[in-house]
Amino acid sequence: MTRFKKISLWITACFIFCAALIFILILSSDKLINQKQISDKIQSGVSEAINGQVTFERIHFSFFPQPQVVVQQCRFSIPETIKGTVVSLSITPKLLPLILGEFQNSRITLYTPDIEIYLDRKPGSEDKHLNSFSLGTVEEKVGAILSVVLSKTPGLRVRLKNARLNILKEKKPAFWFRNINASMNVLKDHISLDMQSDAKLFQNISLKGALYFYKDKLSFSLTNLKLDYPRLYLSGKMDIHGALPSTPQKVNLELLGKNVDVASTRKAALDLAGENPVVNDIFEIVKGGKVPFIQFTSHGKSMEELGELENITINSNMTSGEIFVPGV
């Protein structure tokens, strides 16, 4: 036997041994990770990390055609904040870092998540609709979370398949989204969002936008928002200067609307806003018509101040308008 043949046989034997070892690991990984002691430890660790509770039925590992972790029948909850279920959660890590011993996500897919978010009533408020909850420091929390996400998970892609979202106030439904199909991509300096869904008062929502974070500035860019009902096309942006607790805050909002059907928009806005005086005043005057173009701008020291009448400017034109002037 020549030296070349001996080397070839040795390489072949090593390859067969490695393949057999990997095959054994694949067969044993599911049994190992789903042992009750290990499974309970994973659930306990994740629950502690979110300051809530996380449970699941089973974790499945696969290595071909690409590494993948699938968590089945996942349930999670954070008291008085959020709870939900996910039929299946798929995590696909990056291959090269995995070979080097590091676990980096490249794609997460959530199948049929059903989520409930609880909103606390703002102290002293008597409003009976969605607008009565206090945003508090939401923008600060979003800024802090976005900063961590951009720095720790570049290249991550998140997909939602057939999701449901219920927003509850005092344990009663205030707003909901159905048939949510969305994708979020974490890029170098922003997170892009593409979503389609239905919602209470709205039909066939199509949304594209992005979140940017620069030092102490948080920016929401709305590339396109299209609704079949009420008939509406929107684009715009919202800039929050001072998104971190250490800096003073200033909020600017600009929205551009096209081909707005006033009657259907009025009905949806009044149902959603409830007793909001600004919305009621606007639609007490404007009752119908078509708006080819409208520009809405507002500013304030907080998101709550965006709804104050003295901070709002509206420029538009209208055709076939139905206008009512009180007292005239």
What are the pLDDT tens digits along the chain (328 aa)?
565 554 555 555 545 544 544 444 554 455 555 557 767 777 888 788 778 898 988 888 777 677 788 889 999 888 888 899 999 988 887 766 655 655 566 788 999 999 998 876 445 444 444 443 344 445 555 666 666 666 667 788 889 999 999 988 877 888 889 999 999 998 878 899 999 999 988 889 999 999 988 777 888 999 999 998 888 899 999 998 875 565 667 899 999 998 888 888 878 877 776 667 777 777 777 777 888 888 999 999 887 788 788 898 988 887 876 776 665 5
Residue 212 lies inside a defined structural domain of this protein: no
The answer to whether the Cα torsion of 134, 137, 141, 146 is positive or negative is: positive
CA–CA separation, 93 and 182 (whole Å):
20
Pairing between β-strand 105-119 and β-strand 157-169 as defined by DSSP bridges = parallel
Residue 187 lies inside a defined structural domain of this protein: yes
Together in a domain, 172 and 244: no
Tokens describing residue 117 = 């978010």
Tokens describing residue 19 = 């393949």
Pairing between β-strand 312-323 and β-strand 190-199 as defined by DSSP bridges = unpaired
Strand partners, 196: 181, 206
Contact (Cβ atoms closer than 8 angstroms) between residue 58 and residue 42? no
CA–CA separation, 281 and 314 (whole Å):
13
Together in a domain, 243 and 309: yes
Residue 16 lies inside a defined structural domain of this protein: no
Residue 30 lies inside a defined structural domain of this protein: no
* Residue 304 DSSP symbol: G
pLDDT at res. 21: 47
In which domain, by residue range, is 161 found? 48-121+139-200
The answer to whether the Cα torsion of 133, 137, 139, 142 is positive or negative is: negative
pLDDT at res. 252: 93
Together in a domain, 195 and 282: no
Which residue, among 56, 69, 1, 65, has the nearest Cα to 29 in the 3D structure?
69
Together in a domain, 56 and 193: yes
Together in a domain, 155 and 262: no
Together in a domain, 77 and 157: yes
Residue 293 lies inside a defined structural domain of this protein: yes
pLDDT at res. 112: 92
H-run or E-run covering 63: none
Which residue, among 297, 186, 303, has the nearest Cα to 240 in the 3D structure?
303
| The domain boundary residue, chosen from 200, 216, 248 | 200
Residue 272 lies inside a defined structural domain of this protein: yes
Tokens describing residue 64 = 């071909």
Count: domains in the chain: 2
| Tokens 């420091």, located at residue | 137
Tokens describing residue 213 = 């974070």
Together in a domain, 192 and 73: yes
Q: Mapping DSSP to helix (H, G, I), strand (E, B) and coil, where does residue 295 land?
A: strand
Together in a domain, 69 and 186: yes
Contact (Cβ atoms closer than 8 angstroms) between residue 131 and residue 141? no
Phi, psi for residue 34 in degrees, rounded to 5: -95, 10
Cis-peptide into 154, omega within 30 deg = no
Residue 278 lies inside a defined structural domain of this protein: yes
Distance, C-alpha 41 to centroid of its chain: 28
The answer to whether the Cα torsion of 246, 52, 68, 113 is positive or negative is: negative
Together in a domain, 177 and 65: yes
Together in a domain, 54 and 108: yes
pLDDT at res. 130: 42
Together in a domain, 196 and 235: no
Together in a domain, 87 and 154: yes
| The domain boundary residue, chosen from 200, 218, 242 | 200
Residue 40 lies inside a defined structural domain of this protein: no
Question: Has this prediction a pTM greater than 0.85?
Answer: no
Contact residues for 163 (Cβ-Cβ < 8 A; gap 6+): 110, 112, 113, 114, 115, 177, 180, 181, 182, 197
